Structure 1
Amino acid sequence: MYLLDHPAVLFAVTCIVLLLAHEFGYRLRALAAHRDDRDWQKEVRETRGQIAVLLSLLLGFAMAMGLSRFDERKKLVADEANAIATAYQRAAMQAEPVRSRAPSLLHDYLKARIAIFSLARGNGEQQSAMEQSRAIQQALWSDAVAVAQQNQTPIVALYAQSLNMLFDVDGERVEATLNRIPVDIWLLLGFLAALTSLVVGYGQRHRSWFATFIPVLMVAISISLIADLDTPASGFIQINQHSLQSLRAELQLLPGDAQAH
């Protein structure tokens, strides 16, 4: 959904919807027959408090889901950097064609991986980087198979194992990117937020811009923050690719790398 991928737009839309719900509740109060009755006012306050508690619990639940997914994506960046570094080191111990081809391929693979997760989804450059990543994986595996057919040794097996780890992390990162907070939770969250704002307006005896805007801003900021944590590429809070970028810089400083690149 467009709104969930753009937290700033979601914040603006949430504020507008909640303010409209509040205004509707305030105008609806004028139709109440017992609006000046104290018992009626007490019932409205109790109802408002119950809905607000439920909204708070759901916001906390959604925040926990967003944080866990964010932490998992961040951890996988370091895991992928370690997997690439391991494959690079073990490639130097292999026979040809792995020993000469793998370092260059892994450099290109590292560059492609940084591009994939640094660009917004649907970007043409991201799609090109993904295709390049798949092609490099096939080339690395084909070379490893050729070496294994010539001489099956523990060193070759270790290199094949490092490539398997590399490919597994790729799948895990893709899965983590697609693993978003379910839409059903967002719909329930939006419904409860609008209902809370409506009841707040319904229980307001006199207009108070402070009492109107503060709750709206608090809920809108919370919802936008959760969406930002759950948005892998297009939000304000981004997954830092520092581990991969540092590895790329380190590999470029290795002896003989200048000649290869």
Structure 2
Amino acid sequence: MLYLLDHPIELFVVATVVLLLAHELGYRLRAFAKHPEDKDWEREVHQTRNQIAVLLSLLIGFAMSMGLSRFDERKQLVIDEANAIGTAYLRVGMQAEPVRSAAPQLWREYVDARLAIFGTGSHVDEHDPAVKRTRQIQDELWGQAATVAQQTPTPITGLYIAALNDVIDLDAKRVAAQRNRIPLDIWALMAVLAILTSLVVGYGQRHRAAMATFIPVLMVAISMSLIADLDSPVNGLIQVSQQSMQMLSEDLHKQF
């Protein structure tokens, strides 16, 4: 299940196959109905189908909203982090030694490490060398800033420490945003409702009809795969652009 949620294309294939099988099962179960030609019985089947389909539609809309909000949050955090790093880097030039001479190179390495973490299409792993290097750079930058603040406490130093603190906070926010996924309970309920809807649609069909079979199945499968694509921070066709961080990296290295 977790693998499929991180691979929307595979999820689309699996969902399509499962829903088609559920539809076929429902169609075959109709043969065991006692009154398949009774109008009242058929009306009840259609009402049941519509009720389940409405619940499924509402849940898909809710999950889509959750996926979009998470995607927008991850996208905004990239811009916020690039701006925060750029602000801190500019304030380095106004600091006393050793910050003024040592910090610029650390900031360049920091940006490169962030791109290595979030630009490779993989989950954040605390054992990853880029993640460890990020933590080391944060400690070094903070240690330098703390030393200068103790020796020459000035408003300018305070502004740099505030910018550095924002950068560290955004690191935690980006990691948390990547791990903030749509709950599995919602996915499980969506899968159950989708299977039940397809089952009842097949059960209510008198004759096989390709349009009535494939279109509902494809619509549900596409919707679920799109939600997974938006929700997955590492795989899929829709990915958060790292352009802001890439442009910042290029600008910082040009100044070297």
TM-score w.r.t. the length of structure 2 is 0.97
Name the counterpart of 1:5.
Answer: 6
User: Number of paired residues?
Assistant: 255
Equivalent AA in structure 1 for residue 206 of structure 2: R
- Is 1:192 aligned to residue 189 of structure 2? no
Per-residue Cα deviation, 1:150-184 (whole angstroms, up to 9, x for no partner): 11111111111110000011111111111100000
Name the counterpart of 1:217.
Answer: 218
The whole-number CA distance in structure 1 between the counterparts of 2:124 and 2:79 is 24
Equivalent AA in structure 1 for residue 23 of structure 2: H
Instruction: Provide the secondary structure at the position in 2 that maps to 1:205.
Output: coil
Name the counterpart of 1:151.
Answer: 152
1:248, distance to aligned residue in structure 2 (A): 1.3
The share of aligned pairs that are identical, in percent, is 62
The whole-number CA distance in structure 1 between the counterparts of 2:11 and 2:72 is 23
Name the counterpart of 2:68.
Answer: 67
The whole-number CA distance in structure 2 between the counterparts of 1:67 and 1:142 is 39
- Is 1:176 aligned to residue 177 of structure 2? yes
The whole-number CA distance in structure 2 between the counterparts of 1:240 and 1:153 is 38
Instruction: Provide the secondary structure at the position in 1 that maps to 2:234.
Output: coil
- Is 1:140 aligned to residue 125 of structure 2? no
For structure 2, which runs of at least 5 residues remain unmatched after alignment? Answer: none
Name the counterpart of 2:238.
Answer: 237
Per-residue Cα deviation, 1:175-233 (whole angstroms, up to 9, x for no partner): 11111000000000000000000000000101112211111100000000000000001
Equivalent AA in structure 2 for residue 153 of structure 1: T
Whether the 8 Å contact between 1:80 and 1:169 is mirrored in structure 2 is yes
Alignment of 1:1-261 (within 5 A): 1-121=2-122, 127-254=128-255, 257=256
For structure 1, which runs of at least 5 residues remain unmatched after alignment? Answer: none
1:24, distance to aligned residue in structure 2 (A): 0.7
Per-residue Cα deviation, 1:49-68 (whole angstroms, up to 9, x for no partner): 11111100000000000000
The whole-number CA distance in structure 2 between the counterparts of 1:122 and 1:66 is 17
Change (3 A) 1:217 1:68: same
1:131, distance to aligned residue in structure 2 (A): 0.9
The whole-number CA distance in structure 2 between the counterparts of 1:251 and 1:45 is 63
The whole-number CA distance in structure 2 between the counterparts of 1:53 and 1:72 is 29
Per-residue Cα deviation, 1:60-87 (whole angstroms, up to 9, x for no partner): 0000000001001100001000110011
Whether the 8 Å contact between 1:119 and 1:126 is mirrored in structure 2 is no
Instruction: Provide the secondary structure at the position in 2 that maps to 1:169.
Output: helix
Equivalent AA in structure 2 for residue 198 of structure 1: L
RMSD: 1.4
Change (3 A) 1:124 1:67: closer
The whole-number CA distance in structure 2 between the counterparts of 1:18 and 1:222 is 13
Whether the 8 Å contact between 1:77 and 1:241 is mirrored in structure 2 is yes
Equivalent AA in structure 1 for residue 82 of structure 2: A
Per-residue Cα deviation, 1:18-55 (whole angstroms, up to 9, x for no partner): 01110110011000011011111111111111111110
TM-score w.r.t. the length of structure 1 is 0.95
1:249, distance to aligned residue in structure 2 (A): 1.5
